[in-house]
Amino acid sequence: MMVFLRSKLLRELTKEERRRHHQEIGGFVLGKYREEDIVVLDRLVECTNVSDLPFVKYCPEEACTEKACKLVFRKDRGNIAITLFHTHPRDTFFSVEDVESLINLSKYLGIECIPAFLSTYNSEGHFLSYSLGHYTLISRFFEIESRPLEDRLKKHFSKLGSLADRIEYTVMQR
């Protein structure tokens, strides 16, 4: 799969002013399938975090989730692509729960997993993507191929069983 990120969306996903938020922020990234395995992502829909633990967990408000998912089910929608985005104010990597959220979204909508995105705002700051299966992430500024989890990381995802072997990711320092 090839995933193109429009420049404006990439800037939105990596906004430096998010650094001052001490809570996780997130939403949905939308775009369109251009061909069966080519996706162009160009829009971010931010949702309020309604988690009881917003400093360590992101949970989008239900109304926002329903609105984003309805776009996928509309008859005149074309080939809408949808995936997840959120931030980690401190952590540097995605979690088992993050991968489970992506899997659940894909199952609920009956669509293939499109890479989800994570911006971290620890001392270094990273921009990551993750999915099940191989993909290439492309923007005006870079082209990067996903890679499988290394064995040292795979052990953190053992709860996912054999799905852990399918996780691939990209990471860039901002």
Write down the domain spans for the chain: 2-173
Which residues have a Cβ under 8 Å from the Cβ of 86 and sit 6 or more positions away? 24, 25, 26, 27, 58, 98, 117, 118
Residues of the chain with pLDDT under 50: none
Look at the domain 2-173 and name its fold.
Answer: Cytidine Deaminase; domain 2 (3.40.140)
Interval 97-135: pLDDT, tens: 999 999 999 998 888 889 999 998 876 778 999 999 999
